[in-house]
Amino acid sequence: MATHRRPFSPGLWETSSRAPDIFSDDYRLDRKAFPFPSKKPYMEYYEPLQRRQDTFRTWEFEHKVSAEQLSDAGFFRSTQALDLTLCFHCGGGLKEWSKGDDPWFEHALHFPKCAYVKMRKGADFIRCVKGERPATMTLEEIRTLALKDIDERENGDVDSGHASEEETDDVMKCKVCFQDNLGAVFLPCRHLASCSKCASVVKHCFICRRDIMSVIHVFIP
């Protein structure tokens, strides 16, 4: 999203052990995101998770997005705006959070070059968020992803190498209509659990209950 701001020296961040006053009255944040790409942490003080969590003690927007999710995604709360959050590593900022926003998804969407996102979520996640992942998947890839979903739901170990053909066929069925084969991957959670038809009418992943931001339609050869 477009923003208008004056650049500032990252040295301001590196010389302080507490959240710096990085904005003056001259800064105008017109939209939600503003980037400060970096290969090394802009704010090493907030690298420990607990320190980021501590900045959200008076977080008034828990009903929109949880402080736990934000801190895990690398954000700490700035004192310069009500819901302004900054990434300790890339320095990117996000504000105007809405109910159902996923911090990892937004982080990867607006700041795909952030080294922390790459380290925690991987390049494949970033490509999915940006819509660059191929829209087709091999049958083996779909089977593997489906078996992984079952493992998550049952909290057990699924050995895909020993799964019977009947079990595998059941795995490949849509978990909404139980008729058509799986054909859609929900983002950002990446659960594969419905056919393409059912994916067009559901708004929440029925496995993890997260909001569906987008859908990748997959092809089973």
Residues 47-56: tens digit of each pLDDT: 999 999 999 9
Per-residue pLDDT at 170 exceeds 70:
no
Domain formed by 139-217, architecture: 2-Layer Sandwich (3.30)
Per-residue pLDDT at 89 exceeds 50:
yes
- Dump pLDDT digits (tens) for 9-31: 233 333 233 443 433 333 333 33
Lookup result for tokens 């066929």:
169
Per-residue pLDDT at 34 exceeds 70:
no
DSSP helix/strand/coil, 33: strand
Q: Two tokens at 119? A: 């380290």
Percentage of the chain exceeding pLDDT 70: 62
DSSP helix/strand/coil, 25: coil
Residue with the larger pLDDT of the pair 142 and 216:
216
Q: 166: burial class by Cβ within 10 Å (0-12, 13-18, 19+)?
A: exposed
pLDDT confidence bin for 184, thresholds 50/70/90 = confident
DSSP character at residue 87? E
pTM for the model stands at 0.50
- Least confident range from 65-74, 98-107, 158-167, 191-200: namely 158-167
For residue 50, give every residue at least 6 positions away whose Cβ sits within 8 Å of its Cβ, in sequence order, or none: none
The Cα 133–Cα 127 span in angstroms is 5
| Cβ neighbours of 163 (radius 10 Å) | 15
Give the mean pLDDT of 115-132: 82
The Cα 65–Cα 127 span in angstroms is 23
pLDDT confidence bin for 143, thresholds 50/70/90 = low
Residue-level pLDDT at 79: 83
The Cα 17–Cα 11 span in angstroms is 12
The Cα 220–Cα 195 span in angstroms is 11
Residue-level pLDDT at 121: 83
Give the mean pLDDT of 40-51: 91
In this structure, which amino acid lies at residue 82? L
| Cα–Cα nearest to 61, from 104, 110, 99, 107 | 99
Give the mean pLDDT of 42-67: 94
Domain ranges of the chain: 11-129, 139-217
Residue-level pLDDT at 146: 62
Domain formed by 11-129, architecture: Orthogonal Bundle (1.10)
Residue with the larger pLDDT of the pair 107 and 212:
107
